[in-house]
């Protein structure tokens, strides 16, 4: 080894699956990385609560501290990798590390979604990097693509399948005809869903990632509670079947878009997309992000969105980005400085096509009643599916509607749900045609 | 404008579609770029042979020179963008510019494939950047993904659909049932193929790009003439139909792979791929590159591979990469320093499954004759399609074969072609199962 090779000294906070992955990969790829970037990346200290865990992973005892505060106070470290999770300690850790003049790398999308504005202000003030490639879509280098590869583009829209658990569930509902609860149980059995499934299945994880992508694209952090989020629990197997009959697949999409006036929409919900669209063929636990730029047009990025190794790959790429120029100081690149005229649209303003499934008593006049409500709100019907049924039976009535603002649609749904022949809360899904 | 904003001064050589795109986009995105990277990117001089062209594009007369030699000799320029094409002048321009201490950005894959080793040696010697994001897959940031996003990975394989013309032709043969020559004519009508079609249709353009990807992945330049290249001319509509019956789609693939011993294979040819594979759904003029890394697993990058605007987007991203740290000097990152133990496999050594279509006289014993030849060379048959025919008629006989080395297969094909009942040169396509 060349004695003059500079060394980037890393403190690793947290030794879960991703932390262990980072530790192992920095060891196994040590020569490769030094060769590629001309700098050695060396983990000098690891903060982990259970010393036993460090032994399991093979971290030498001399490297281990139990309190992350020791890590951020260590003047010999250049970078802290935050992998402790949660948003309370992780926030404090990140703030203190930046204030102490250290770069920080994090995989923590919840932290960024909730406290990103403050954290990037601190990073900017102290001229330190706060990098987060691992926070969205695991090993897919989507953050780098947005910041660097597409730097010449105004981002017109982003459509992302960014929760592997939900995509696995929808894939199994589609391919094996499972109901939601059975697909979820299978996902848990296969280790694709946590015991506490709400973060994934109710769309919160995807919403955190959508907030990160929106900040990158439009330079502001969607205030908590203002990012419309809807998960999978209302989706039934029959909705996937009807969608297919109409030429659509069903995905949990994060949608981030701007219009000509610079108003921005950010939302996460189950969405019908044309079966022929490339996103419709993204199956299982895979993630994909489709980006439309004003110069480049559509580009798409696909890969595994989670798991220790893919996420470690992203963390190491952030370390390499800092190391590649080390020890030279680099300009820290901020997130959130482009929000000159951006305005977040409310959900009420959003216009899209809609899918409605009603459970109705099969008797004359029901469709007419429903159609009248829709017409009174200027909502056009583009197709109807009503399976054969015997008079008086309860049967699904599926309607595909033309473009309508969410506020009108919601008002119509409320009114429809009060029609006597409508026997269950209407299922409402939005449609995205990528026009 | 802040008076202290540093300015990166650019010389633009060539004002074709891409050059014009770069000129326009640097103008239209000027504020956006300054905001994002903190440096102004300014084209100070443009070399173009026809002054009239400069007027059409709106380049001020004061900026225009007719000889690129003036550009590379101009001490006030920091970067030269080489878009003159060809490999003779472009080589000289790039060499001189690097020697004169300028960074160079090029979209010229032919230049890199033929002279990359020399050019990167010059760049290394003079510690200047030679960037080439636009050389492969247009606006898709695949070079950056390989160099930076996947820096933590040893690259196990790359599979690329990297020629839009060929992919358009194969898509139309598949979807509209066209024969090759009709699909090619249609591609020309729609502006997706040049009048001189050989560069695209015979696979040379894809081979140039494959050489660039291989150099990035494995650090050496495949010597000219040693990159196995086969285009589309032998493919008939019926091969696409038979492939589909067997569960496969047909794509012109660039395949770059390493084995456990570090031997590398690089080849371009029409390839059968499983219909369910995500690459099989890449249609029309779109490009896609699938990368398998040892840490991250599979990631895929998709978008438009050609056209003035997508390519300009990539050129501008290279300019931004230099500008982001400007005027600080950065370590120039070389291509070609990882070739420690790499060895290029000859085509004879390559093992894959194979598809054979023979035109045979339908008479008893033909299949037995063919099977005997294959068996004598230890090549197993996995399936056979032989359409119903009348005795004595000429009919296709389609065979799907198990893994066999190319040398054995070629010898078998030669022998089979000499069987009396075999009435035309056998059509041979390779199969890729992504295992």
pLDDT per position as a tens digit, A86-108: 999 999 999 999 999 999 999 99
pLDDT value at A265 more than 90: yes
- Over residues A258-287, the mean pLDDT reads 94
Residues of A in contact with B133 (CB under 8 A): 149
∠B258-B264-B270 over CA atoms, to 5°? 90
B333 vs chain A: nearest CA distance in angstroms?
A: 8
B347-431 and B7-138+308-325 share a CATH fold: no
**Cβ–Cβ contact B152 with A under 8 A:** yes
Residues of B in contact with A317 (CB under 8 A): 148-152
**Cβ–Cβ contact B275 with A under 8 A:** no
Are residues B145 and A144, on separate chains, in Cβ contact within 8 Å? yes
Query: Chain B 100-139, CB below 8 Å of chain A: which residues?
Result: 133, 138-139
How many pairs of residues across A and B have Cβ atoms under 8 Å apart? 184
* Domain chopping of chain A, boundaries: 7-138+309-325, 142-305, 349-431
| DSSP-assigned beta bridge partners for residue A395 | A360
Decide: A197 and A171 in contact? Cβ < 8 Å. no
Tell me which of 3.30.70.260, 3.30.365.10, 3.40.50.740, 2.40.50.180 is the CATH number of domain B347-431: 3.30.70.260
Per-residue pLDDT, B306: 87
Query: Is the pTM above the cut of 0.80?
Result: yes
Distance CA B212, CA B220 (A): 9
What single DSSP character describes residue B405? Answer: E
Residues of A in contact with B327 (CB under 8 A): none
> How many other C-beta atoms can be found within 10 angstroms of the C-beta atom of residue B90?
24
Q: What percentage of chain B has pLDDT greater than the value 90?
A: 87
Are residues B295 and A139, on separate chains, in Cβ contact within 8 Å? yes
Per-residue pLDDT, A262: 85
Residue of B nearest to A133 (CA): B149
Per-residue pLDDT, B95: 98
**Cβ–Cβ contact A375 with B under 8 A:** no
A431 vs chain B: nearest CA distance in angstroms?
A: 22
Distance CA A133, CA A209 (A): 11
Are residues B302 and A300, on separate chains, in Cβ contact within 8 Å? yes
3-state DSSP assignment of residue B401: strand
- Over residues B82-102, the mean pLDDT reads 97
Residues of B in contact with A152 (CB under 8 A): 25, 29, 33, 312-313, 316-317, 320
Per-residue pLDDT, B29: 94
Indicate the class that CATH gives domain A7-138+309-325.
Answer: alpha beta
Q: How confident is the model at residue A387 (pLDDT cuts 50, 70, 90)?
A: confident
Decide: A316 and B152 in contact? Cβ < 8 Å. yes
Residue of B nearest to A290 (CA): B302
pLDDT value at B53 more than 70: yes
A249 vs chain B: nearest CA distance in angstroms?
A: 15
| Structure tokens, B253 | 């693939």
| DSSP-assigned beta bridge partners for residue A157 | A257, A292
Q: What is the CATH number of domain A142-305?
A: 3.30.360.10
Are residues A149 and B32, on separate chains, in Cβ contact within 8 Å? no
Q: What is the CATH number of domain B7-138+308-325?
A: 3.40.50.720
What single DSSP character describes residue B335? Answer: S
For A296, which of B152, B295, B309 is closest by C-beta distance?
B309
Residues of A in contact with B23 (CB under 8 A): none
Question: B199-241: per-residue pLDDT in tens?
Answer: 999 999 999 999 999 999 999 999 888 999 999 999 999 999 9
**Known catalytic membership, residue B181:** no
pLDDT value at A300 more than 90: yes
Mean predicted lDDT score pLDDT of chain A: 94
Indicate the class that CATH gives domain A349-431.
Answer: alpha beta
- Over residues B174-179, the mean pLDDT reads 97
pLDDT value at A333 more than 70: no
**Cβ–Cβ contact B304 with A under 8 A:** yes
Question: A168-191: per-residue pLDDT in tens?
Answer: 999 999 999 999 999 999 999 999
**Three-state secondary structure along chain A?**
CCCCCCEEEEEEECCCHHHHHHHHHHHHCHHHHHHHHCCEEEEEEEECCCHHHHHHHCCCHHHEECCHHHHHHCCCCCEEEECCCCCCHHHHHHHHHHHCCCEEEECCHHHHHHHHHHHHHHHHHCCCCEECHHHCCCCCCHHHHHHHHCCCCCEEEEEEECCHHHHHHHHHHHHHCCCHHHHHHHHHHCCCCCCCCHHHHCCHHHHHHHHHHHHHHHCCCCCCCCCEECCCCCCCHHHHHHHHHCCEEEEEEEEEEECCCCEEEEEEEEEEEECCCHHHHCCCCEEEEEEEECCCEEEEEEEECCCHHHHHHHHHHHHHHHHHHCCCCCCCCCCCCCCCCCEECCHHHCEEEEEEEEEEECCCCHHHHHHHHHHHCCCCEEEEECCCCCCCCEEEEEEEEEEEEHHHHHHHHHHHHCCCCECCCCEEEEECCCC
**Catalytic residue, candidates B209, B251, B257, B345:** B209
Quick one: B147-304 is in which CATH superfamily? Dihydrodipicolinate Reductase; domain 2 (3.30.360.10)
A140 vs chain B: nearest CA distance in angstroms?
A: 6
B250 vs chain A: nearest CA distance in angstroms?
A: 17
Mean predicted lDDT score pLDDT of chain B: 94
Mutate to test the interface with A, among B21, B295, B342 (most CBs of A within 10 A): B295
Residues of A in contact with B321 (CB under 8 A): 148
Residue of A nearest to B26 (CA): A152
């Amino acid at each position: 080894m060349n004695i003059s090779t500079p060394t980037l000294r890393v403190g690793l906070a947290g030794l879960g699956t991703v932390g262990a992955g980072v530790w192992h990969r920095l060891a196994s790829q040590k020569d490769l990385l030094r060769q590629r970037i001309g700098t050695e990346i060396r983990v000098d200290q690891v903060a982990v609560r259970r010393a036993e865990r460090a032994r399991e992973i093979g971290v030498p005892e001399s490297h281990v501290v139990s309190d992350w505060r020791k890590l951020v106070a260590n003047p010999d470290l250049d970078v802290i990798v935050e992998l402790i999770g949660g948003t309370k300690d992780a926030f404090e850790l990140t703030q203190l590390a930046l204030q102490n003049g250290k770069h920080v790398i994090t995989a923590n999308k919840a932290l960024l979604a909730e406290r990103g504005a403050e954290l990037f202000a601190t990073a900017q003030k102290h001229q330190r990097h706060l990098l987060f490639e691992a926070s969205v879509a695991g090993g897919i280098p989507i953050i780098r693509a947005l910041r660097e590869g597409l730097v010449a583009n105004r981002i017109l829209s982003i459509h992302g399948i960014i929760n592997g658990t939900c995509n696995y569930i929808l894939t199994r509902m589609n391919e094996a005809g499972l109901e939601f609860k059975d697909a979820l149980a299978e996902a848990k059995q296969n280790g694709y869903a946590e015991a506490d499934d709400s973060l994934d299945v109710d769309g919160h994880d995807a919403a955190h990632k959508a907030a990160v992508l929106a900040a990158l694209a439009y330079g502001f952090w969607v205030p908590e509670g203002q990012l419309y989020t809807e998960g999978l629990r209302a989706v039934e197997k029959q909705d996937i079947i009807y969608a297919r009959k109409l030429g659509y697949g069903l995905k949990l999409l994060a949608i981030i878009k701007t219009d000509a006036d610079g108003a921005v929409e950010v939302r996460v919900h189950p969405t019908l997309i044309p079966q022929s669209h490339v996103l419709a063929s993204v199956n299982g636990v895979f993630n994909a992000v489709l980006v439309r730029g004003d110069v480049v047009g559509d580009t798409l990025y696909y890969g595994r969105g989670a798991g220790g190794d893919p996420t470690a790959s992203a963390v190491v790429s952030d370390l390499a980005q800092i190391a590649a120029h080390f020890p030279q100081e680099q300009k820290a690149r901020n997130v959130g400085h482009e929000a000159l005229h951006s305005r977040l649209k409310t959900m009420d303003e959003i216009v899209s096509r809609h899918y409605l499934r009603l459970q109705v008593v099969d008797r004359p006049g029901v469709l007419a009643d429903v159609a009248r409500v829709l017409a009174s709100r200027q909502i056009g019907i583009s197709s109807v599916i009503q399976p054969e049924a015997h008079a008086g039976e309860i049967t699904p009535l599926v309607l595909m509607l033309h473009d309508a603002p969410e506020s009108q649609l919601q008002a119509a749904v409320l009114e429809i749900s009060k029609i006597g022949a409508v026997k269950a809360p209407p299922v409402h899904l939005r449609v995205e045609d990528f026009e």
